[in-house]
């Protein structure tokens, strides 16, 4: 069989396409391939003379045949697009013909029955029959609705069998791709299960609900007042009854399985209403509300990983500008994560305000929802967590997908190591490359059973039901994530768990545990917890994130004529390294209105532009400014003289290798930047324009946006979608204060 390219081809490469059944799907398949010119001729077969006439008139096919045998004689590909229950008869007829080398394929919505019918008719599944199912129906039907573009960007599922000829499969696959479809391969049974749940059950419910209401005596009243909810839910009850009757009969077994599972869930909901169990109802409703969005996110990320190309979100940062005004940047990411974790494990209801509605913190939130915690919101930064207590988490229904968030994965692994159930933690392409042995190794020493991917990378599979024992652990690196992970495991471990850090790291976990009434001992570089206590619900006000404020601290420092106030920023001393470093470089930064909110120090930060000078960054400040180096490198590029950073090898294992990626970007903009194994040397000087790549790292994308303030020409920054992980509405706030950055292609 000749190769078929997915591009438009000038000359036909295949002989004859026969399409049996000229409805919407068969007609669109024929028309699309005819327009592509892939076949020398396209022949239609249909019992209905009007469909045959229209098919020729509308250019769907070259010609029609009434006789199946005549049409198929010498055909290269035969597409069976008849109603699903007519398939048996058609296959029996085909089995009696000499089909030569022709490939057979079909478009039935259920596959098990087609395969069974083919086996019976042919005395075994023909190797050149490739079952298929395009998911591209519409309310319209008939050949008159056929569209050459119907399958563009729609999924087509092919369900080859063990004996399917690979060349036949490849050919059918390419035909669909030529029509712009997104082709996937699946096993027959899996296809039928998935479709029963995602398509067949919803149709059954829609038909059933409308009929049930229509039968009642007060039906007119019901339909008169049927507003959006009824209309939206029952739209698909307008679908073709005969076609759906066929589908339910064809996919009977899988539909019954999914219907039974749904009936159990419906009974549980009924029980909750009957018992006045609002908590149960809220749990179902909040989970459902966010589930659709969550799953689309997972799917988008999967596509990104698999296809190795994503929709590159490009920032265009125009040169110049100065900053003024007052803004509040979004809530602290570290504190937002911890508020969900501890709020979920507490007894009682915790209210959170100022919660960061960025993807990372939302990944943590979703993980706890998946483990049965009822969480309302977030809505304008407010979250209500109905805590389940230290021992109240439930096994999640599947792997916990944590997107881009290293903090979620590392902290969660500590508390999941002590649960009675197994969990698997997965993430996006960036998270899948990050080192997890730093938590897996000490957790194993405490008795945890954890499997990692190769070289200690995600996914992590954590075996439940282990008894952990407290230990004294000297961390080889200054990491708040490792410290927090072990302290969380320590809440469940026999005896005391002590973590010793080589240098101070952020202490939000220790502070927040105390805020929830859990005793924590901190002495110098040592933090300890003991199991046997409980967390009591509290109120948490999340301050603005100093790591997000950092972009504006640098921006206002380097842009001449700037004067900016950043409100309500968390200034926990384990986080203020960025202020200390900028001040050493000569920045004009002052803290006003200093106060303590919920155990965390907070201030308004005023920053005015000033001439920066290069410095040797003191190594003891590195862990206290660990997330702010990308933007500090931009400050260094704008400073007079040389800036040297050492002792910061941790930057190489963040969301990207931040030393290399920043160096590459700075060099592309004409800055002298030389990476070293544990840091970088940057010579201040003019910044040019150009193209830079953030490698999916949110902080790199925002740092180069800031660099534009001093650039000589526009900077195009690739791969910026992950800015949403930590700083939703970065572009909006940046524009508000005077940074000229926008999403390319958007006004
Ligand atoms: C974090 C700790 C830091 C930081 C990360 C958040 C936390 O990581 O880089 O963005 O919330 O504990 P390490 O502890 O691995 O340095």
Is 425 a residue whose pLDDT tops 50? Answer: yes
Packing angle, helices 546-558 and 698-707, rounded to 10: 20
**Residue 287 within any structural domain of the chain:** no
- Which helix (H) or strand (E) segment holds residue 693: the answer is strand 690-693
For the chain, what percentages of helix, strand and coil (3-state, to nearest 5) are there? Answer: 45, 20, 35
Residues annotated in a binding site for phosphoenolpyruvate: 333, 406, 434, 481, 658, 699
Q: How far is the CA of 603 from the centre of ligand 1 (A)?
A: 22
Q: Which of 342, 542, 624, 626 to mutate to test the pocket of ligand 1 (most atoms within 8 A of CB)?
A: 626
Counting from 1 in the atom list of ligand 1, the atom nearest the Cα of 334 is: 11
Please state whether the peptide bond connecting residue 512 to the residue before it is cis, i.e. omega within 30 degrees of 0.
no
Q: Using CA atoms, how far apart are residues 183 and 18, in angstroms rounded to an integer?
A: 21
Kindly state whether residues 55 and 90 are assigned to the same domain. Answer: yes
- Would you call 416 helix, strand, or coil by DSSP? helix
**Residue 282 within any structural domain of the chain:** no
Q: Using CA atoms, how far apart are residues 364 and 345, in angstroms rounded to an integer?
A: 13
Is 309 a residue whose pLDDT tops 60? Answer: no
DSSP structure string for 624-662: GGTTTHHHHHHHHHHSBSEEEE-S-GGGGGSSS-HHHHH
**Residue 229 within any structural domain of the chain:** yes
Counting from 1 in the atom list of ligand 1, the atom nearest the Cα of 337 is: 11
Q: Are 421 and 412 in contact (CB under 8 A)?
A: no
Q: How far is the CA of 431 from the centre of ligand 1 (A)?
A: 13
Q: How far is the CA of 626 from the centre of ligand 1 (A)?
A: 8
Nearest to 179 by CA among 5, 2, 3, 62: 5
Q: Using CA atoms, how far apart are residues 170 and 172, in angstroms rounded to an integer?
A: 6
Nearest to 629 by CA among 696, 731, 550, 709: 550
Of the listed 604, 627, 697, 719, which one is catalytic?
627
Kindly state whether residues 207 and 171 are assigned to the same domain. Answer: no
Indicate the DSSP class of residue 196.
I
Q: Are 412 and 443 in contact (CB under 8 A)?
A: no
DSSP structure string for 501-531: -SS----HHHHHHHHTT---EEETTEEEEES
Kindly state whether residues 98 and 199 are assigned to the same domain. Answer: no
Widest distance between CA atoms in the chain: 90
Average pLDDT of the chain, as a whole number = 93
Tokens, residue 574: 């384990």
Q: Per-residue pLDDT averaged across 45-52, rounded? A: 95
Q: Which residue has the higher pLDDT, 141 or 207?
A: 207
Q: Are 169 and 26 in contact (CB under 8 A)?
A: no
Pairing of strands 539-541, 588-597: unpaired
Kindly state whether residues 264 and 386 are assigned to the same domain. Answer: no
Strand ranges of the sheet holding 460-463, from the earlier edge strand across to the other edge: 400-401, 423-426, 460-463, 449-451
Indicate the DSSP class of residue 574.
T
End position of a domain, from candidates 158, 186, 214: 186
Q: Are 158 and 130 in contact (CB under 8 A)?
A: yes
Kindly state whether residues 321 and 269 are assigned to the same domain. Answer: no
> What tens digit of pLDDT does each residue of 522-545 get?
999 999 999 999 999 999 999 999
**Residue 304 within any structural domain of the chain:** no
Counting from 1 in the atom list of ligand 1, the atom nearest the Cα of 650 is: 16
Ligand 1: residues with CB < 6 A are 334, 407, 479-481, 484, 505-506, 626-627, 650
Q: Using CA atoms, how far apart are residues 150 and 154, in angstroms rounded to an integer?
A: 8
Q: What is the pLDDT of residue 138?
A: 67
Predicted confidence band of residue 214 (pLDDT cuts 50, 70, 90): confident
> What tens digit of pLDDT does each residue of 587-626 get?
999 999 999 998 999 999 999 999 999 999 999 999 999 9
């220790």: which residue's tokens? 510
End position of a domain, from candidates 186, 215, 235: 186
Is 36 a residue whose pLDDT tops 80? Answer: yes
> What tens digit of pLDDT does each residue of 374-397 get?
999 998 999 999 999 999 999 998
Q: Which residue has the higher pLDDT, 11 or 86?
A: 86
Please state whether the peptide bond connecting residue 459 to the residue before it is cis, i.e. omega within 30 degrees of 0.
yes
Q: Using CA atoms, how far apart are residues 607 and 596, in angstroms rounded to an integer?
A: 21
Kindly state whether residues 548 and 534 are assigned to the same domain. Answer: no
- Which helix (H) or strand (E) segment holds residue 607: the answer is strand 600-608
**Residue 343 within any structural domain of the chain:** yes
Q: What is the pLDDT of residue 63?
A: 97
> What tens digit of pLDDT does each residue of 60-81 get?
999 999 999 999 999 999 999 9
Percent of the chain with pLDDT over 70: 94
Predicted confidence band of residue 307 (pLDDT cuts 50, 70, 90): very low
Kindly state whether residues 595 and 486 are assigned to the same domain. Answer: no
Counting from 1 in the atom list of ligand 1, the atom nearest the Cα of 623 is: 16
- Which helix (H) or strand (E) segment holds residue 605: the answer is strand 600-608
Protein residue closest via CA to atom 13 of ligand 1: 479
Q: What is the pLDDT of residue 238?
A: 84
Q: What CATH number is associated with residue 266?
A: 1.10.3660.10
Kindly state whether residues 235 and 120 are assigned to the same domain. Answer: no
Kindly state whether residues 172 and 201 are assigned to the same domain. Answer: no
Q: Which of 358, 407, 507, 513 to mutate to test the pocket of ligand 1 (most atoms within 8 A of CB)?
A: 407
Packing angle, helices 480-490 and 333-345, rounded to 10: 10
Predicted confidence band of residue 239 (pLDDT cuts 50, 70, 90): confident
Q: What is the pLDDT of residue 241?
A: 87
């008795």: which residue's tokens? 447
Give φ, ψ of 438 to 5 degrees.
-60, -25
Nearest to 155 by CA among 299, 311, 8, 3: 299
Indicate the DSSP class of residue 331.
B
HEC profile of 117-140:
HHHHHHCCCCCCEECEEECCCCCC
Q: What is the pLDDT of residue 290?
A: 82
DSSP structure string for 195-243: HIIIIIHHHHHHHHHHHHHHHSTTHHHHHHS--HHHHHHHGGGGS-HHH
Q: How far is the CA of 411 from the centre of ligand 1 (A)?
A: 10
Q: What is the pLDDT of residue 299?
A: 64
Kindly state whether residues 179 and 213 are assigned to the same domain. Answer: no
Q: What is the pLDDT of residue 300?
A: 59
Count of domains in the chain? 4
Q: What is the domain extent for residue 243?
A: 193-276
Residues annotated in a binding site: 333-334, 338, 406, 434, 479, 481, 627, 654, 658, 699
Q: Per-residue pLDDT averaged across 277-289, rounded? A: 91
627 is catalytic: yes
**Residue 37 within any structural domain of the chain:** yes
Q: How far is the CA of 326 from the centre of ligand 1 (A)?
A: 27
State the Cα torsion 328-333-335-338 to the nearest 10°. 150
Flag whether the pTM goes above 0.95.
no
Q: Are 390 and 415 in contact (CB under 8 A)?
A: no
Residues annotated in a binding site for 3-phosphoshikimate: 333-334, 338, 479, 481, 627, 654
Q: Using CA atoms, how far apart are residues 109 and 85, in angstroms rounded to an integer?
A: 11
Counting from 1 in the atom list of ligand 1, the atom nearest the Cα of 626 is: 9
**Residue 60 within any structural domain of the chain:** yes
Protein residue closest via CA to atom 9 of ligand 1: 627
Q: Using CA atoms, how far apart are residues 1 and 552, in angstroms rounded to an integer?
A: 61
Q: Using CA atoms, how far apart are residues 21 and 87, in angstroms rounded to an integer?
A: 10
Protein residue closest via CA to atom 11 of ligand 1: 334
Decide: residue 617, CB within 10 A, 0-12 exposed, 13-18 middle, 19+ buried: buried
What's the CA angle centered on 260, arms 255 and 261, to 5 degrees?
Answer: 105
Packing angle, helices 278-307 and 252-274, rounded to 10: 140
Decide: residue 124, CB within 10 A, 0-12 exposed, 13-18 middle, 19+ buried: exposed
> What tens digit of pLDDT does each residue of 98-147 get?
999 999 999 999 999 999 999 999 999 999 999 999 998 666 778 999 99
Kindly state whether residues 500 and 588 are assigned to the same domain. Answer: no
Q: How far is the CA of 361 from the centre of ligand 1 (A)?
A: 13
Q: Per-residue pLDDT averaged across 432-446, rounded? A: 97
- 293: which residues sit within 8 A by CB, 6+ positions away? none
Q: Considering Cα of 694, then 700, then 701, then 707, what sign does the dihedral take?
A: negative
Q: What is the pLDDT of residue 1?
A: 40
Predicted confidence band of residue 6 (pLDDT cuts 50, 70, 90): very low
End position of a domain, from candidates 170, 186, 202: 186
Q: How far is the CA of 276 from the centre of ligand 1 (A)?
A: 43
Q: What CATH number is associated with residue 676?
A: 3.65.10.10
Tokens, residue 228: 């959006």
Is 303 a residue whose pLDDT tops 70? Answer: no
Protein residue closest via CA to atom 5 of ligand 1: 407
**Residue 281 within any structural domain of the chain:** no
Kindly state whether residues 365 and 513 are assigned to the same domain. Answer: yes
- 672: which residues sit within 8 A by CB, 6+ positions away? 682, 683, 685
């Amino acid at each position: 069989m000749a190769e078929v390219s997915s591009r438009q081809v000038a000359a036909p490469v295949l002989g004859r396409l026969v399409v049996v059944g000229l409805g919407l799907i068969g007609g669109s398949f024929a028309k699309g391939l005819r327009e592509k010119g892939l076949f020398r001729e396209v022949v239609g077969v249909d019992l209905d003379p009007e469909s045959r006439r229209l098919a020729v008139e509308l250019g769907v096919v070259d010609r029609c045949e009434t006789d199946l045998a005549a049409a198929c004689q010498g055909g290269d590909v035969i597409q069976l697009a008849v109603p699903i229950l007519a398939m048996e008869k058609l296959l029996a007829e085909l089995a009696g013909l000499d089909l030569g080398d022709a490939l057979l394929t079909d478009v039935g919505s259920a596959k098990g029955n087609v395969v069974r019918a083919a086996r019976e008719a042919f005395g075994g599944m023909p190797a050149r029959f490739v079952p298929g199912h395009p998911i591209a129906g519409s309310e319209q039907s008939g050949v008159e609705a056929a569209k050459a573009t119907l399958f563009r960007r729609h999924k087509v599922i092919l369900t080859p069998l063990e004996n399917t000829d690979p060349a036949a499969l490849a050919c059918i696959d390419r035909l669909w791709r030529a029509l712009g479809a997104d082709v996937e391969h699946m096993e027959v049974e899996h296809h039928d299960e998935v479709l029963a749940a995602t398509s067949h059950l919803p149709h059954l419910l829609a038909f059933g609900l409308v009929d049930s209401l229509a039968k009642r005596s007060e039906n007119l009243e019901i339909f008169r007042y049927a507003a959006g909810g009824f209309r939206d839910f029952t739209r698909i009850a307008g679908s073709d009854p005969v076609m759906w009757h066929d589908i339910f009969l064809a996919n009977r077994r899988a539909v019954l399985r999914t219907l039974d599972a749904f009936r159990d869930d419906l009974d549980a909901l009924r029980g909750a209403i009957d018992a006045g169990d609002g908590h149960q109802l809220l749990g179902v409703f909040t989970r459902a509300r966010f589930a659709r969005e969550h799953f689309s996110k997972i799917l988008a990320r999967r596509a990104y990983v698999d296809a190795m190309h994503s929709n590159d979100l490009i920032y265009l940062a125009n040169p110049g500008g100065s900053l003024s005004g007052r803004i509040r940047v979004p809530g602290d990411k570290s504190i937002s994560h911890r508020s969900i974790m501890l709020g979920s494990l507490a007894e009682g209801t915790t209210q959170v305000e100022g919660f960061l509605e960025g993807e990372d913190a939302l990944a943590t939130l979703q993980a706890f929802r998946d483990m049965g915690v009822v969480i309302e919101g977030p809505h304008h930064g407010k979250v209500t967590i109905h805590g389940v207590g230290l021992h109240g988490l439930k096994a999640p229904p599947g792997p916990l997908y944590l997107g881009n968030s290293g903090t979620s994965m590392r902290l969660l692994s500590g508390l999941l190591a002590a649960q009675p159930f197994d969990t698997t933690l997965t993430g996006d392409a960036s998270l899948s490359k990050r080192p997890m042995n730093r938590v897996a190794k000490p957790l194993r020493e405490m008795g945890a059973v954890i499997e990692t991917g190769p070289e200690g990378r995600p996914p992590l599979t954590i075996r439940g039901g282990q008894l952990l024992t407290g230990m004294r652990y000297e961390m080889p690196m200054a990491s708040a994530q490792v410290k927090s992970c072990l302290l969380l495991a320590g809440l469940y471990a026999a005896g005391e768990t002590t973590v010793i850090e080589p240098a101070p790291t952020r202490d939000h976990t220790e502070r927040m545990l105390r805020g929830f009434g859990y005793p924590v001992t901190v002495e110098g570089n040592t933090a300890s917890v003991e199991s046997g206590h409980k967390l009591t619900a509290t109120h948490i006000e999340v301050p603005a994130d100093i790591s997000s404020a950092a972009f504006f601290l640098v921006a206002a420092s380097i842009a001449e004529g700037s004067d900016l106030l950043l409100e309500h920023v968390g200034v926990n001393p384990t986080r203020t390294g960025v202020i200390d470093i900028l001040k050493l470089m000569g920045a004009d930064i002052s803290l006003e209105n200093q106060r303590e909110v919920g155990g965390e120090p907070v201030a308004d930060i005023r920053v005015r532009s000033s001439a920066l000078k290069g410095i040797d960054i003191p190594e003891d400040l590195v862990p206290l400014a660990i997330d702010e180096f990308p933007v500090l490198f931009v400050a260094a590029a704008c400073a007079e003289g040389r800036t040297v950073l050492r002792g910061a090898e941790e930057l190489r294992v963040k969301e990207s290798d931040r030393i290399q990626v920043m160096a590459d970007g700075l060099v592309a903009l004409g800055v002298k930047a030389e990476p070293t194994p544990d840091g970088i040397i940057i010579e201040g000087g003019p910044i040019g324009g150009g193209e830079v790549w953030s490698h999916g790292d949110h902080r790199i994308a925002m740092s180069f946006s800031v660099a534009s303030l001093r650039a000589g020409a526009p900077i195009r920054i690739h791969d910026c979608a992950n800015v949403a992980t930590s700083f939703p509405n970065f572009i909006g706030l940046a524009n508000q204060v005077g940074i000229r950055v926008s999403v390319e292609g958007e006004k």
